[in-house]
Chain A
Amino acid sequence: MSAGGADGGEAVDRTPSERVDVCVVGAGPAGAIVAAELSAAGHDVVVLDAGPRFDPEDRPERMERHLRPGVDRAVWDTGGERDTFSASGDRHYPLDAARVKGIGGSTLHWQAMVMRLHEQDFRLDSSVGLGDDWPIDYADLRPYYARAEAELSVAGASDNPFAPPRERPHPLPAFPPSYSDSLFAEACEAVGLATHSVPNARNSEPTDEAGACVGYGTCKPVCPSGAKYDATRHVAAAEADGARVLDRVPVQRLVHDADGDRVTHAVYATPDGEEHRQEAREFVVAAGGVETPRLLLLSRSESYPDGLANSSGLVGRYFMDHLFAGMGGTLEEPTRQKHVGFNTTESHQFYDRPDDSRTAFKLELLNYAGPAPADVALSADSFGDELLAEVREGYGTHVAMGALVEQLPRRENRIRLDPSRTDDRGNPVPDVVWSLDGTTRRTIERANEVQRAVLEELGADIGWTVGPENTGPAYHHMGTTRMGTDPAESVVTPQLRTHDLDNLTLSGSSVFVTGGAMNPTLTIAALSLKAAEHVDERL
């Protein structure tokens, strides 16, 4: 396998196209969906991605890297000089584990749980006095959510009493609950916790694009069968409609015209060390919640001394993630974990905030608690029958609950440049300044309380807790180029265009004003569809 992607990086033509209609930076879902939409509409599109084009044939080997201890290479080759970063906040931020660079972006690694934000998420300040309101509301996004679910072939059911109103069923039927879920059912009922299905961007049935899930159980970090959605599907659609998608071409900076009103070209580097310029009528930056603000900061100019599109001073500010809260233990009976790598039951009962005392959280019943037999066997210090006894002891009776917890936007949490360190191209690296506030900690504790109540009711011997002290991020990078109507208080308009530059659109979770506690990518997809519409209107 070549680290550089299928072609080894040499045979491909990476010279720029003549001035195109649209230049998209980033081939994760936020960029790929925009590219697919705009090329389907007949526009000339070039997509530039920093990472390689991974060969699908290599996925089984990547799976082994994940399953076998002792194989240290990152599954998707993240890390190293290209990805150097700093994390100078109170909390360390493990950025290398939190994203993938390459065609398909972080969806190559993701878990693919996809749900809509709730109505309350869009008006948090006006409803309970927390955070800020979005400039758009659920009703504005609702039609785009429906289209996004179709784009991602979401498998789901309409059995969630806490979900916002929807117009039609999900495109594919939900995955039925697991045996493990059935063990929880009574305990959940006894403590008054209402549960429901999980919407998954994973084929419960075959579609034109991919076969049905076959149960490899390694969804995160790699689905060898392709049943789990990743953005290579939209890259393929864009290419089929004529888009040019270049890999291993990190954009170094965006350059604007004399008036500072329009971006004229993107400067990108190629593997041979050359730099090129791609001109376009419209630019869409979709480089993820960390690299999008970084690219703007790297593109500072005389007109924009603090960074491109940064008149507000807010580029990089209000960085948010979701926090993980969890608890697990063992039962005195088999729990049948680890057959599949995704979850089938969760609860949004505690999602909406009653007042300003806590933020949102959602609860998940895990289908992959505890170690798999191979995990035990490969790190045990016994052999033969003794080892088998250890494997039987280690696998088999685990249960666990997870939760995602909302973190409110705070100015001091931010992505900034660290001028003291540079990446492989000599650019200052991103510095993730991240910390936890009291409200978030309280919400994590509240999630733990509910988890404890359920697990105790279930009769579990509780073995571990992830609470406020040992919590970590869920790898959802949000808020760093927030959306708003006031140019002094936000970076992009409700149409996702920057206030400062007329032909620069930002696509992705960096535009979120608040993050709720839902995995972000369905909302990213919905906003990408919306952004594409606005770009199309201007072309």
Chain B
Amino acid sequence: MRLSRRDALAALVAGGVGSLAGCGAPTARSSPSSREAAGDAAETPVGDHELATLVAVAEAVYPSEVEGVGEFVRTYTGSRVEGAGSYARGVAEAVGTLDDYAAEFHDIEYASLPASTRRETLEYMSVDDVAPDPDGTEAQRVRHYLVNELLYALYTSPTGASLAGLENPPGHPGGTRSYREGPDA
């Protein structure tokens, strides 16, 4: 299943960003990574490095049959972080946490880990077991700001929820026809 730009925009509506009646086309900003930006990290905390990390996390937590993850995540997250300052900071900090963790065990940033190790790293951190909490432990914040953020984007988008047979998921304004149709329509 291929995620489209429309999916990202649909998920954005579900996520509370973007006007309801047809969004403009949001794009991720190419700003320097917060880790490189000297001092004033708060202004543009989510840059290329953070987006690349989000894509890496998405590849670890999304099902293998989903394609187009990179563009989907960049479109979705790019708009989300423009929307809210504290949210963007949360994302950037969670990326930092993940990088520190990866560095400790593998000596490289999370996004540079081989695909198979990315999932393991999340599991070693117990991100799979904890409840999401924006103010919780490191693992809970990674779960909230990165993993659940991405799972929310996927499974409230028509393509993502369709993987489970629901093409008009809650949060998506998919009209009033699909609820009447059977599975084979």
Interface residues of A (CB under 8 A from B): 60-64, 67-71, 175-179, 182, 204, 212-218, 224-225, 333-334, 336, 338-341, 344, 367, 372-374, 376-379, 381-385, 387-388, 391-392, 395-396
Given contacts A215-B168, A387-B151, 14 further A-B contacts (CB under 8 A): A67-B171, A215-B175, A215-B179, A224-B20, A224-B173, A344-B179, A372-B161, A373-B164, A373-B166, A374-B151, A376-B164, A384-B60, A384-B64, A392-B163
Interface residues of B (CB under 8 A from A): 13-18, 20, 60-65, 119, 122, 128-129, 131-134, 143-144, 147-148, 151-152, 154-156, 160-161, 163-166, 168-176, 178-183
How far, in Å, is A111 (CB) from chain B's closest CB? 14
Contacts of A62 in B (CB 8 A): 16
How far, in Å, is B137 (CB) from chain A's closest CB? 13
Beta-carbon contact of A336 and B128 below 8 Å:
no
How far, in Å, is A436 (CB) from chain B's closest CB? 32
**Closest chain A residue to B171, Cβ basis:** A67
Beta-carbon contact of A178 and B161 below 8 Å:
no
Contacts of A334 in B (CB 8 A): 165, 182-183
Beta-carbon contact of A372 and B170 below 8 Å:
yes
Interface of B is mostly: loop
Q: How far, in angstroms, from A204 to B176 measured CA to CA in the complex?
A: 9
Number of A-B contacts (CB under 8 A): 170
Contacts of A391 in B (CB 8 A): 155, 163-164
Interface of A is mostly: loop
How far, in Å, is B69 (CB) from chain A's closest CB? 12
Interface centre among B134, B173, B183 (most CB of A within 10 A): B173
Beta-carbon contact of B171 and A216 below 8 Å:
yes
Cβ-neighbour of A374 out of B16, B155, B178 (below 8 A): B155
Q: How far, in angstroms, from A225 to B20 measured CA to CA in the complex?
A: 8
Beta-carbon contact of B164 and A338 below 8 Å:
no
Contacts of A70 in B (CB 8 A): 131-134, 143-144, 148
Contacts of B163 in A (CB 8 A): 373, 388, 391-392
**Closest chain B residue to A183, Cβ basis:** B182
Contacts of A382 in B (CB 8 A): 128
Q: How far, in angstroms, from A304 to B12 measured CA to CA in the complex?
A: 56
How far, in Å, is A143 (CB) from chain B's closest CB? 31
Beta-carbon contact of B173 and A67 below 8 Å:
no
**Closest chain B residue to A368, Cβ basis:** B170
Interchain residue pairs with CB less than 8 A apart (16): A60-B18, A64-B16, A68-B148, A70-B144, A216-B170, A217-B170, A336-B179, A339-B168, A372-B169, A373-B166, A374-B170, A383-B119, A383-B122, A388-B163, A392-B165, A395-B164
Q: How far, in angstroms, from A179 to B17 measured CA to CA in the complex?
A: 31
Cβ-neighbour of B172 out of A178, A216, A379, A388 (below 8 A): A216
Given contacts A373-B155, A384-B119, contact A175 B176 (CB under 8 A): yes
Q: A-B pairs with the 3 shortest C-beta distances?
A: A70-B132, A339-B179, A61-B16
Given contacts A178-B179, A179-B180, A336-B182, contact A373 B64 (CB under 8 A): no
Contacts of B173 in A (CB 8 A): 214-216, 224-225
Contacts of A344 in B (CB 8 A): 179
Q: How far, in angstroms, from A333 to B182 measured CA to CA in the complex?
A: 11
Beta-carbon contact of A69 and B132 below 8 Å:
yes
Q: How far, in angstroms, from A213 to B181 measured CA to CA in the complex?
A: 17
Cβ-neighbour of B168 out of A60, A69, A217, A376 (below 8 A): A217
Contacts of B166 in A (CB 8 A): 336, 338-339, 372-373, 395-396
Interface centre among B132, B143, B171 (most CB of A within 10 A): B171
Given contacts A373-B160, A395-B164, contact A340 B179 (CB under 8 A): yes
**Closest chain A residue to B63, Cβ basis:** A388
How far, in Å, is B143 (CB) from chain A's closest CB? 8
Contacts of A178 in B (CB 8 A): 179-180
Q: How far, in angstroms, from A213 to B173 measured CA to CA in the complex?
A: 9
Beta-carbon contact of B164 and A339 below 8 Å:
no
How far, in Å, is A63 (CB) from chain B's closest CB? 6
